Amino acid sequence: MSFDPDFMKIRGILKDHHEYWSNAIPLIASENLTTPAVREAAISDLAHRYAEGWIGERVYPGNQYFDEIEEICLKLLKDLFDAPFVDARPISGVVANLTVYTAFTKANDKMMAISIPVGGHISSGPLKAKSGGFIGGTAGAVSRLNVDYIPFDRYGLNIDVDAAIKAIREKKPRLVQLGASVFLFPHPVKELAPVAHEIDAHMNYDAAHVAGLIAAKQFQDPLREGTDTMTMSTHKTFPGPQKGIVIASRDELAEIIKSAAFPGMTSNHHLMHVAGLAIAAAEFKKFGKPYSKQVIVNAKALGQALYERGFQVVCPEKGFTESHTILVDISNFQNTIGLGADVEQRLEKAQIVANRNLLPWDILEKRHYKNPGGIRIGTQEITRLGMKEQEMIRIAELMKAVIVDQKEPTEVAEAVAEFRADFQSIHYGFESTLKAYEYIEIA
Ligand SMILES: *Cc1c(COP(=O)(O)O)cnc(C)c1O
């Protein structure tokens, strides 16, 4: 053991981070917890290795065991998603999308997706010129696609089907991408896939947020509804390591996706996370359904509990959500607490972690993404801590104390830690004595 001050300091901060999270209420919709078995894979020797290429045709030697692992990983994922082909080499959801853009489009092609203010993700955003250079979303800035928007019903929080059919026929994009980062209700894949195919467009469904719910058959079934490919992060509702995958609806698409993934979008493909993903998939096969059902039940229950306590949760008439996410319009607290950034900060001080988010109508009301009118909440991580409907009421009360009743956040933080004390282990995974946020000391 070294007593170098920086070495000691960094490890101390890491421990503090773990301590903070074990006493906090984690409500970020894009995060989740991995089980001890998945964490073990992450610190295995695979974290030091390269493979490159496909199983059995690697560019690097030394992969006899890893080949077996990736084979199992792909088999489990194909089973879970009921798909003929999966590529698990993209290192994140953005890279999975880039793999699809690379495989099925060329520069200057038109792509249609929902816009960021209504819940779209930056990876489907357009190119922007700025101070002598070019920035923007991945589709525009990296793949040089011309991004156009799928018409969206702002207040119904979903794609406007009739207007979208018309727009796709009129604009004739090369790629239509569905999916979102504020994803409350299933997208109209069944209605739009035939229209995309009629104009020879490729359809991709970005399942980054809802992958776990889809694998558990609790949201929608994009492959059967007509999408050509599906991309995802493996660490949002799907409780795996931070990675991405591309799924094809039919075998003919496999070769082009493989070439786009390597040598197109990856060299190293983070082998330790392929192993972790295999373990997460094996766990999901056993526990995925009850977990996903409870995630959605909890989201609806938290929506209702917050709504009853003075929070303007969007879409009450639609039961708030059919996924893990609820969106809360916090503009009624503008004169007491402030907007999204202030609410986020105040909650964070109380150890309740949820992020500010644009509401679909924020831009119309001249609100900006840095201080928007909403916060986004996800129930997947708290569900994995074993929380159920009763706990959703408790969380709503704690949030009410900080925001509606304007109690001192640091005082509420004590109540939060006390509440959290009973929820320290991970549910829906193979048994282990390691606590959910336990720091693993090896050195
Ligand atoms: C999170 C997200 C991604 C990107 O995933 P990373 O794994 O963070 O790269 C892509 N698309 C959507 C819709 C997302 O919400």
Task: Report the CATH number at residue 298.
Answer: 3.90.1150.10
State the average pLDDT over residues 211-238: 98
- The pLDDT score that the predictor gives to residue 34 is 97
pLDDT digits (tens, 9 = 90+) for 318-332: 999 999 999 999 999
Q: To test ligand 1's pocket by mutation, which of 91, 100, 101, 206 has the most ligand atoms within 8 angstroms of CB? A: 206
Q: Tell me if 111 is assigned to some domain.
A: yes
Angle, in degrees to the nearest 10, between helices 189-198 and 161-171: 20
CA 117, 122, 127, 132 torsion-angle sign: positive
Q: Are residues 141 and 259 in the same domain?
A: yes
pLDDT digits (tens, 9 = 90+) for 61-112: 999 999 999 999 999 999 999 999 999 999 999 999 999 999 999 999 999 9
Q: Tell me if 157 is assigned to some domain.
A: yes
Question: Whose Cα sits closest to atom 1 in ligand 1?
Answer: 208
3-state secondary structure the chain: CCCCHHHHHHHHHHHHHHHHHHCCEECCCCCCCCCHHHHHHHCCHHHHCCCCCCCCCCCCCCCHHHHHHHHHHHHHHHHHHCCCEEECCCCCHHHHHHHHHHHHCCCCCEEEECCHHHCCCHHHCCEEEECCEEEECHHHHCCCCEEEECCEECCCCEECHHHHHHHHHHHCCCEEEECCCCCCCCCCHHHHHHHHHHCCCEEEEECCCCHHHHHCCCCCCHHHHCCCEEEEECCCCCCCCCCEEEEECCHHHHHHHHHHHHHHHCCCCCHHHHHHHHHHHHHHHHHHHHHHHHHHHHHHHHHHHHHCCCCEECCHHHCCCCCCEEEEECHHHCCCCCCHHHHHHHHHHCCEECEEECCCCCCCCCCCCCCCCEEEEECHHHHHCCCCHHHHHHHHHHHHHHHCCCCCHHHHHHHHHHHHCCCCCCCCCCCCCCCCCCCCCCC
**240 C-beta closer than 6 A to ligand 1:** no
Q: Are residues 302 and 379 in the same domain?
A: yes
**Comparing 134 with 415, which gets the higher pLDDT?**
415
Q: Is the pLDDT of residue 234 over 60?
A: yes
Question: Whose Cα sits closest to atom 15 in ligand 1?
Answer: 181
For residue 208, the CA-to-ligand 1 centroid distance in Å is 5
**209 C-beta closer than 6 A to ligand 1:** yes
Q: Is the pLDDT of residue 407 over 90?
A: yes
Q: Is the pLDDT of residue 189 over 60?
A: yes
Q: Is the pLDDT of residue 373 over 80?
A: yes
Residue 442's pLDDT band (cuts 50, 70, 90): confident
The encoded tokens of residue 28 equal 């970020």
Q: For residue 364, what are the domain limits?
A: 25-33+287-420
Q: Tell me if 2 is assigned to some domain.
A: no
Q: Tell me if 433 is assigned to some domain.
A: no
CATH number assigned to the domain comprising residue 230: 3.40.640.10
Q: Are residues 47 and 97 in the same domain?
A: yes
What are the angstrom distances between the C-alpha of 179 and each of 53, 97, 117, 176, 208?
29, 11, 14, 10, 8
Q: Are residues 166 and 313 in the same domain?
A: no
**94 C-beta closer than 6 A to ligand 1:** yes
Question: Whose Cα sits closest to atom 5 in ligand 1?
Answer: 93
For residue 232, the CA-to-ligand 1 centroid distance in Å is 7
Distance from the first to the final alpha carbon of the chain: 7
Q: How many domains does the chain have?
A: 2
Contact 181, 30 (CB under 8 A): yes
For residue 121, the CA-to-ligand 1 centroid distance in Å is 7
The encoded tokens of residue 173 equal 């994009």
State the average pLDDT over residues 228-245: 98
Q: Are residues 103 and 173 in the same domain?
A: yes
- The pLDDT score that the predictor gives to residue 131 is 87
Q: Are residues 264 and 318 in the same domain?
A: no
Q: To test ligand 1's pocket by mutation, which of 31, 32, 94, 265 has the most ligand atoms within 8 angstroms of CB? A: 94
Among the candidates 267, 283, 299, a domain finishes at 283
Q: Are residues 241 and 330 in the same domain?
A: no
**402 C-beta closer than 6 A to ligand 1:** no
Q: Tell me if 225 is assigned to some domain.
A: yes
Alpha carbons 254 and 243: distance in angstroms, whole number: 19
Atom of ligand 1 at shortest distance to CA of 179? Answer: 13
Q: Is the pLDDT of residue 431 over 90?
A: no
Q: Are residues 271 and 297 in the same domain?
A: no
Q: Are residues 69 and 144 in the same domain?
A: yes
Q: Are residues 295 and 320 in the same domain?
A: yes
Angle, in degrees to the nearest 10, between helices 340-349 and 409-420: 60
**376 C-beta closer than 6 A to ligand 1:** no
Q: Are residues 236 and 179 in the same domain?
A: yes
State the average pLDDT over residues 351-372: 95
Q: Is the pLDDT of residue 1 over 60?
A: no
Q: Tell me if 246 is assigned to some domain.
A: yes
pLDDT digits (tens, 9 = 90+) for 268-297: 999 999 999 999 999 999 999 999 999 999
pLDDT digits (tens, 9 = 90+) for 153-167: 999 999 999 999 999
Q: What average pLDDT does the chain have?
A: 97
Q: Tell me if 435 is assigned to some domain.
A: no
Q: Tell me if 72 is assigned to some domain.
A: yes
**182 C-beta closer than 6 A to ligand 1:** no
Q: Is the pLDDT of residue 2 over 70?
A: no
Q: Are residues 236 and 328 in the same domain?
A: no
